[in-house]
Amino acid sequence: DAKTTQPNSMESNEEEPVHLPCNHSTISGTDYIHWYRQLPSQGPEYVIHGLTSNVNNRMASLAIAEDRKSSTLILHRATLRDAAVYYCILSGGGTSYGKLTFGQGTILTVHP
Amino acid sequence: DAGVTQSPTHLIKTRGQQVTLRCSPKSGHDTVSWYQQALGQGPQFIFQYYEEEERQRGNFPDRFSGHQFPNYSSELNVNALLLGDSALYLCASSLAAANTQYFGPGTRLTVL
């Protein structure tokens, strides 16, 4: 399975934008980039996913590099409820289809 | 619209016992995946069921088995429990043709 690399932790202040980076230099052409987050004592929650183009939804934006070897999850205005572990996952290509391979993720702390 | 539900919420067993965990997928979903999450780690893929068949399996021993019913609900069975099986067990549902998974709140299993 193609691997992703994320910073262990990041901090932000409330109402400021947050940019969470992810490197995936071994991504294959059929791999989608998925982001999930896990709040304390809850199951992971789908945030956003994309293949090549930047994507926006009500929760966040996903910016994908032109060579697809990195991506950035953007939370436009962080709130205290956004404090969670954020996972960047590659899925959809070949034998990885149907399973999500979670790494350690990035622990996001949001300060009031 | 109910999301993914899991039962029980918590469970305590002793070594050598057997356990069954249950999952009801999100309405309209036909695929169920199971994950194990040890404390402080990301979830690890156990297996996925579609059309009552195991479609993919992660690196887990045969002590871990599952079943999917005609109504798409699923069970995870673990035999001969070990202390190391203590974890949060997560169920996720999806559509077979889609790669986005929706997670339940999990079952916390403690093996003494």
Half-sphere exposure of A10 (CA within 13 A, CB side): 23
* Percentage of residues of chain A with pLDDT beyond 70: 94
Q: Closest Cα to residue A85, out of B4, B42, B38?
A: B42
Which residues of chain B are within 8 Å of residue A87 when distances are taken between CB atoms? 42
* Percentage of residues of chain B with pLDDT beyond 90: 88
Half-sphere exposure of B85 (CA within 13 A, CB side): 26
User: Could you read off the pLDDT of A22-54 as tens digits, one per residue?
Assistant: 999 989 888 899 999 999 889 999 999 999 999
Under 8 Å between Cβ of B52 and B35: no
| Rounded Cα gap, residues A67 and A27, in angstroms | 10
pLDDT at B11 exceeding the cut of 70: yes
Question: Could you check whether the bond before residue B105 is cis, i.e. omega within 30 degrees of 0?
Answer: no
| Average pLDDT score over residue span A42-71 | 94
| Average pLDDT score over residue span B77-98 | 93
Which residues of chain B are at the A interface, by a Cβ-Cβ cutoff of 8 Å? 4, 31, 33, 35, 41-45, 48, 55-56, 58, 90, 92, 99-106
What pLDDT was estimated at residue B57? 92
Among B100, B102, B108, pick the best mutation site for testing chain A contact (most A Cβ within 10 A): B100
